[in-house]
Structure 1
């Protein structure tokens, strides 16, 4: 789905304030110094320039965190020996076609053993045919569009569950957490690629969560929401779920208050984790729920990074910012590669047939990490995506975003039903 190529304007532009933009204009290919000993060669394709540079640097930081951590231990373990990882970088310049060219050069010129995927789903989709052509596996720590996986990419594997899965599962977490149990839901989706997919995830997940869908409204990114909110208000749903970017999300709250409509629960996707959301709405933001797939508080751990909290502290020490789930997903991509190479038992450098065997080893991944469980789907619309993680339900309380629902517990009690507007 090429229209997702500018996903930098979508769900994670909320995080741009936390990203460190390291300009690489004029340097589309960067590499670490070559070691004398044999190394595994990993190619990173992401947006190191252009409009998605901030998100691109989130992915780069995550991949580099893994490379630094594994190399500090002597490298990836194979047959009792350790081999360091050498990182190569290709800049897609926030353009899918450029990303495909970058992938081809990394494979042909740098002879990388594995690719780590781009920030945007559009670039990821563009790179998949290159991976297929050269039979080189790619592990994508960022892509979330379900269209990536509907293509059934043989050589690409996703760490973050597709947005339709995350949105759908989140309704189940909310319905299970709320007391009394909600029965009805109305869904609003903004009519642009990523937001529409989020809305569809909420819509399709309603039935599985045991909720009756009383309305599904697709709205433009800009415009008066009064008619839609008025229609939904008359239906009196227990829950309202919204897929959109920051302005539509804020407008839903403002319009609902102006019409004195307050559902028992209001859930959005990633937007509520942006401090700007709460700042724009002040006290009116309180009670709004959101969804993330990873937080430093999740109860997961592994032998390299330790706990999720340990990883967050490591990342913050290096960048000065608490990592988001993008960095976590990208760092977990390296864990998948290391685990697969160890099981493969092949030392560097890998031959073409070894890379195919590496792809097969990645397919059989069943791993527990600081990010959460990782196991790739082998058929269906989410082929080669990792849909194992349970979404973390968050809610704004007192102007702060706190975890209120997860399979392993939460940091605060869910406010439900929401009180009337003041």
Structure 2
């Protein structure tokens, strides 16, 4: 393990070089005044696509902070350093590297990796060392009901998504009566599948199929055949990008003709639509954020959603998704807590996070008693042609829903 960690440490070079150059600049807030943020990231393995999004947007954020001369804390400038390691989509390794970041690298705060399952592992480590942890891509209530006092999440609970989606689809398709639910047996996808089945049942829909598939499943044809036999009006599948691409292809191969196909959170990612081409058309999803939202006068590195969008497109040439938005906002929230605390003292920062009630370019952040962001209206989106359209809520909608033909 020791040799592995030495090898992984090479991954911190780009962020650390920026921070080191910055240290020679403005006066420090105190003698050792550096805000040191640590993060275990899945840069290889099954969640590499998602982990690289976190890495990219945090580097964009760090560049912005550095260009502005650091963060203002107690009337003085404080540099920011970002240290991260590749945990290779291995949950156990994520926990080990979180501990290394705290004990060896001396980070003041932690950012959680992608997904509820790995966040839960890292949260246990953060709690043991009483180190504030902000999770930007973990929405399962099962992560936040463990009594953790140092864990805070910028995503709202899963149930907010499923209840609004059921209500919206019933309105748009009055004859909707049968739904099939097919979810990956992993913390976040399982939670979403469970929540949708419950929301559908509570709304009077008949859940004609409700099964989970194992992590690593490479063939969904048996499940898809069973779903076809049940003749649902709506198919709801959860999983990660490659799971959903495969599932959608096999639905087409086996002649599925359900008018509504929802995949969470496939269409939120460019690789989903790129990987499916025309087969992505009409697929719906739900997401926590879309750049069409128009928040202004916000705290943090960007003063509005439009400002963030402009910088992101200039850097990467494409649109940001909810992972980019939530994770950049999480960094802003951490800084706001340090500024409120007036130092990097972990207990003071934790208390400041618990009292947070701010507006970011991503939207409002108001942590509840369990550390989760309070529920708000979250967008329902649909692939239409080559574009992602917002169907709901009405305030930011830019298209009407279409049925799959």
Say whether the fold is shared (TM-score over 0.5): yes
Q: Among residues 211, 215, 218, which one is paired with 2:211 in the alignment? A: 218
Question: What stretches of structure 1 of length at least 5 have no aligned partner?
Answer: 1-23
The CA deviation at 1:295 is: 1.6
Counterpart in the other structure of 2:3: none
d(CA) in 2 for partners of 1:108, 1:258:
52
Query: Structure 1 residues 275 and 366, CA, compared in 2 at 3 Å: closer, same or farther?
Result: closer
d(CA) in 2 for partners of 1:138, 1:391:
23
d(CA) in 2 for partners of 1:330, 1:312:
14
The CA deviation at 1:303 is: 4.2
Match runs of 1:48-63 below 5 Å: 49-51=43-45, 52-63=47-58
RMSD: 3.2
Match runs of 1:211-290 below 5 Å: 211-220=204-213, 221=217, 222-225=219-222, 226-233=224-231, 237-246=232-241, 249=244, 253=248, 262-274=257-269, 277-278=272-273, 283-290=278-285
Query: Do structure 1's residue 337 and structure 2's residue 334 form an aligned pair?
Result: yes
1:338-363 CA distance string (max 9 Å, x none): 3223333x2x4x4xxx4212212211
Query: Structure 1 residues 362 and 98, CA, compared in 2 at 3 Å: closer, same or farther?
Result: same
Counterpart in the other structure of 1:44: 38
Query: Do structure 1's residue 98 and structure 2's residue 93 form an aligned pair?
Result: yes
- The answer (yes or no) to whether the contact 1:184–1:211 under 8 Å persists in 2 is no
Question: Between Structure 1 and Structure 2, how many residues are aligned?
Answer: 379
Match runs of 1:339-378 below 5 Å: 339-344=336-341, 346=342, 348=343, 350=344, 354-378=345-369
Query: Structure 1 residues 42 and 165, CA, compared in 2 at 3 Å: closer, same or farther?
Result: farther
- The answer (yes or no) to whether the contact 2:40–2:98 under 8 Å persists in 1 is no
d(CA) in 2 for partners of 1:56, 1:254:
25
TM, length-normalised to structure 2:
0.80
Query: Do structure 1's residue 27 and structure 2's residue 10 form an aligned pair?
Result: yes
| SS of the residue 1:300 aligns to | coil
Counterpart in the other structure of 2:383: 396
The CA deviation at 1:131 is: 1.9
TM, length-normalised to structure 1:
0.77
d(CA) in 2 for partners of 1:375, 1:165:
17
Query: Structure 1 residues 407 and 64, CA, compared in 2 at 3 Å: closer, same or farther?
Result: farther
| SS of the residue 1:185 aligns to | strand
Counterpart in the other structure of 2:109: 114
Match runs of 1:172-183 below 5 Å: 172=166, 174-175=168-169, 178=172, 180=174, 182-183=176-177
The CA deviation at 1:218 is: 0.8
Query: Structure 1 residues 316 and 177, CA, compared in 2 at 3 Å: closer, same or farther?
Result: farther
Query: Relative contact order (C-alpha < 8 Å, sep 6+): which is higher?
Result: 1
| SS of the residue 1:394 aligns to | strand
